Amino acid sequence: MKISKMVLGVSLALGLSVAAQAAEVEVLHWWTSGGEAKSIAELKTMLEAKGHVWKDFAVAGGGGESAMTVLKSRVVSGNPPVAAQIKGPSIQEWGEEGVLANLDDLAKAEGWDELLPTVVSNTMKYKGEYVAVPVNVHRVNWMWTNPEVFEKAGATVPTTWDEFFIAADKIKAAGMTAVAHGGQPWQDATTFETVVLGTAGAEFYNKAFIDLDPKSLNSPTMIKALKVFHKIKGYTDAGSPGRDWNLATAMIINGEAGMQFMGDWAKGEFTAAGKMPGKDYLCVAAPGTTNDYTFNIDSFVMFEVDDKELQKGQNDLASTILSPAFQEIFNLNKGSIPARLNLPMDKFDDCAKISAKDFVRTAKANTLLPSMAHGMSTFSSTQGAIFDTITEFYNSDSITAEAAAAKLVKAVAAAQ
């Protein structure tokens, strides 16, 4: 009897100790489309392999605006998730609130400063210490095209905005939708920033969306960009208002539309649909932006917790995110490139290889730029002011570009 009691005692203790390590890690994110969901599922698998329980806190809505609203209410009610998808300058805003766990010990132990490009590591720190862990680098200034649509329309893939409207006219005349677009503020802003970059260049982009220079925001250059941006609306379809971004990507996949301006999370949808770049679709720089790279770094923060098991779960989550194995499998599915330096790219497709090369090339040429539309260049209040102004302008046929430019200055100033 004694032996069986001892065996029982040992197995109980063992069981408890395993249970003691298992933490329920609740993770807020907004990755719910086909490609996004496959990508985040890899993180769940890897975290659970470390003995933790993944509690999925997915808030649908491309661009993450809904997710951020839900997150704020959870934090205000004193019940934050264990981890959340927060990125860019918002990391500073959350750091200011004093609610983020400090990841610096882990970062030093794992040498994150050596593993990450400076532009990435700087974004992850609050007052010089890591409070966020980067998942990837997305490129935003892509244009996705369906070669079959172009062939049917006798159009050629444009490299300038003049060529764009010639191609768009041909696709429209052939009875297809020239531009697949979802009429949501963040998608309007994604197209808008790409037009500004393509018509006015990197230096102006910096002045407008990083310096928030009023003389740039309201200038003949901005007015010209606003006119090009508004003209695109005439090449979208009646179903565009409110459409989710991945449904616009589906229009390219099924040959309904010829072009989509979207970051390379769109590639995750092509990949999930079994489509091959260079054959079923092309990834090309949006007109006028071949030598530029608007970046969007996804990252996760951990909220401060007292529970030791949860802290271990947070450290295991952060460590898993930066591991070579996760960085590869996640980014293969997500359409982005690894945040971590010097990972082999041989499993990645040509679009990712171009992105990885251009990331380095544009960093050297000072044309590696933070995406305004994806929360990399301003605080959320300023981004919201820009979103409201350009979406109102895009949806109106009575507001002039001159009036919209003047409104941009006022809205941005009021948000400071």
Q: Which of 374, 383, 390, 412 binds ligand GAL (CB under 6 A)?
A: 374
Order of all β-strands in the sheet with 293-296:
337-338, 136-139, 293-296, 368-370
| Binders in 210-269 for ligand GAL, by CB under 6 A | 245, 265
- Our CB check for ligand GAL shows the closer of 141 and 216 to be 141
Q: How many other C-beta atoms can be found within 10 angstroms of the C-beta atom of residue 92?
A: 14
Provide the minimum distance between the beta carbon of 173 and ligand GAL in the complex, in angstroms, as a whole number: 31
Provide the minimum distance between the beta carbon of 265 and ligand GAL in the complex, in angstroms, as a whole number: 4
Give the separation between CA 183 and CA 145, rounded to whole angstroms: 19
Q: Which of 36, 264, 292, 349 binds ligand GAL (CB under 6 A)?
A: 36
Map tokens 């050629």 to a residue. Answer: 156
**Is 288 one of the binding residues for ligand GAL (CB under 6 A)?**
no
* Angle at which helices 401-415 and 220-232 cross, to 10°: 110
Give the separation between CA 416 and CA 414, rounded to whole angstroms: 6
Residue 249 near residue 262 (C-beta atoms within 8 A): yes
Give the separation between CA 210 and CA 194, rounded to whole angstroms: 15
Q: Which of 260, 296, 333, 391 binds ligand GAL (CB under 6 A)?
A: 296
Provide the minimum distance between the beta carbon of 296 and ligand GAL in the complex, in angstroms, as a whole number: 5
In the 8-state DSSP scheme, what is residue 51? T
In the 8-state DSSP scheme, what is residue 146? -
- Our CB check for ligand GAL shows the closer of 116 and 297 to be 297
Q: Which of 292, 298, 349, 358 binds ligand GAL (CB under 6 A)?
A: 298
Q: Which residue is nearest to ligand GAL (CB)?
A: 62
Provide the minimum distance between the beta carbon of 292 and ligand GAL in the complex, in angstroms, as a whole number: 18
Stretch that binds ligand GAL, among 62-70, 159-167, 377-385, 392-400 (CB under 6 A): 62-70
Stretch that binds ligand GAL, among 29-37, 70-78, 342-350, 394-402 (CB under 6 A): 29-37
**Is 63 one of the binding residues for ligand GAL (CB under 6 A)?**
yes
**Is 142 one of the binding residues for ligand GAL (CB under 6 A)?**
no
- Our CB check for ligand GAL shows the closer of 35 and 117 to be 35
4, exposed or middle or buried, with CB in 10 Å at 0-12, 13-18, 19+?
A: exposed
Contacts 24+ apart (CB under 8 A), 67-74: 67/28, 67/29, 67/30, 68/380, 70/28, 71/28, 74/28
Q: Which residues bind ligand GAL (CB under 6 A)?
A: 30-31, 36, 62-64, 138, 245, 265, 296, 298, 374
